[in-house]
Amino acid sequence: MHRIHFIAIGGPVLRCLAIASSKKNNITVSGSDIEIAEPVLSTLKLHGILPEKMGWFPEKINKSLTSIVIGKNVAADNPELLKAKELGLRVLSYPEYVYLQTRSKTRIVVGGSFGKATIASMIVFVLKQLKIDTDYLIEKQCLGSENTVNLTFDARIAVIEGDESFISTNNNRSKFIFYKAHIAIITGIDCSKKNASSSSEEYIELFKKFTDSMEVQGRLIYFEGDANLIDIASKLRRDIVPFSYKTPKNEVHDGITFLKSKKGKVPIKISGEFNLQNIEAARIACRQIGVTDDQFYSVIGGFAEVSN
C-alpha cells in the first residue's frame, strides 16, 4: 500500500489529484493545508481525505509515507516539506507525480499558449464516447467544482493538459516537460503570455524543451500557421514525427457549423476558426492511438465548448 501525502491539498490541481488517487485501491491519501474553503472543503470531506485540522504538522511526516506531493506555491521553508527532506522522503511536484502514475501509458500532452484545455477535453470526450478507458488531467478545469482528473490501473492512454509555467516558485522548469509526451500537441506560441521577467526568446525556448522531452519515436502535432512552431518542427530530433494542422474544411448554414469529412457533413455545437483548428488537432491526435476518422466524426458533434 502506497501512502501519499499532499501538501496544500486544497489547491485546485492537488485537490483533484488527491481525490483521483484515493480511488485507487493501492493508495492511501492524506493531506494538509492552512485554509480550505467551500466547496473544496465539502468535496474533500465527501471523499474522506479532509485534514482533521488546518495547518502544517511536521510531526505527522514520517517514514511510513511513500511520497510527498507538493503544490506549486508551497514555500521552500514549509515545515512539512523540511521534515520530509530531513527524513529523505521522496518529494514530488505534481507533474512528476502525474508522470509516475501514467508512466506505463501512452501520454498525449496538449501544450500551447491557448486552447490546450479545449483540445484535451475534446480528446477525452471522444474517447469516453467510444468507451475507451482513459486517464486524464485537465488542469484548467480543476479550478471548478468538477473533478477533472482520472487515474486508473487499466487505462492504456493518458490525456494531459500541459502547461509551460514553472513547477514551483523555486524551480524554473516547465511543468509539461515532466510528462514526457509520446504524442505532443502545441497550439501556438503567443509571447504576450510569457512571464514578465523572461524574454520572448526564453519563452519560445520553453516549447523547444517540451519537444526535446518527448519519448523516443514521439509524434508532434502543431499548428502550421505559427512561424515559431514551424521553426521548432524543423529542428526536431530525427526520431520524432511531425504532423501539422490547419483549419479544416467547413461551412455554416443557419448558424450551424458543419465539418466536411469524406463521409459527408458533420454538424458541430461549437463554431469559430480557432475551435475548428482545435478539433483538427484532436482528430490527428486520436488517429495516433487508433481512432479512425469515421469514429472521431461520429461523436465529435456532441462536444460543447469549454473555457480555456
What's the distance, CA 308 to chain centroid?
Answer: 12
pLDDT value at position 143?
A: 62
Asked which of 66, 97, 128 is the last residue of a domain, the reply is 97
Half-sphere exposure of 197 (CA within 13 A, CB side): 3
Tell me if 173 is assigned to some domain.
yes
What is the per-residue pLDDT across 216-231, written as a single tens digit (0 to 9) for each?
Answer: 999 999 999 999 999 9
What is the distance between the alpha carbons of residues 174 and 135, in angstroms, rounded to a whole number? Answer: 21
Going residue by residue through the chain (308 aa), what tens digit of pLDDT does each one get? 899 999 999 998 999 999 999 999 899 999 999 999 999 999 999 999 999 999 999 999 999 999 999 988 899 999 999 999 999 999 999 999 999 999 999 999 999 999 999 999 999 999 999 999 999 999 876 765 556 899 999 999 999 999 999 887 777 899 999 999 999 999 999 998 877 668 999 999 999 999 999 999 999 999 999 999 999 999 999 999 999 999 999 999 998 999 998 889 999 999 999 999 999 999 999 999 999 999 999 999 999 876 55
Domain co-membership, 205 together with 90: no
Q: Please, which residues have CB within 8 angstroms of residue 272's CB and are 6 or more apart in sequence?
A: none
Bridge-partner residues for 93, per DSSP?
70
pLDDT value at position 171?
A: 78
Task: Give helix 116-129 / helix 293-300 axis angle, nearest 10°.
Answer: 100
Domain co-membership, 212 together with 230: yes
Q: What is the pTM of this model?
A: 0.95
SS3 assignment for 23-56:
CCCCEEEEEEECCCCCCHHHHHHHCCCCCCCCEC
Half-sphere exposure of 107 (CA within 13 A, CB side): 27
Mean pLDDT (the chain) is: 93
Domain co-membership, 192 together with 285: yes
Domain co-membership, 73 together with 217: no
Domain co-membership, 136 together with 161: yes
Q: DSSP state, 228?
A: H
> Could you tell me the CATH number of the domain that includes residue 190?
3.40.1190.10
Task: Count up the domains in the chain and report the number.
Answer: 2
Tell me if 120 is assigned to some domain.
yes
What is the per-residue pLDDT across 84-95, written as a single tens digit (0 to 9) for each?
Answer: 999 999 999 999
Asked which of 81, 97, 113 is the last residue of a domain, the reply is 97
Q: Tell me which residue range forms the domain holding 22.
A: 2-97
What is the per-residue pLDDT across 16-48, written as a single tens digit (0 to 9) for each?
Answer: 999 999 999 899 999 999 999 999 999 999 999
Which of 30, 93, 90, 98 lies closest to 63, judged by CA?
90
Asked which of 97, 112, 134 is the last residue of a domain, the reply is 97
Domain co-membership, 65 together with 123: no
Residues 134 and 124 sit within 8 Å (Cβ to Cβ): yes
Give the CA angle between residues 90, 96, 99 to the nearest 5°.
Answer: 120
> Could you tell me the CATH number of the domain that includes residue 63?
3.40.50.720
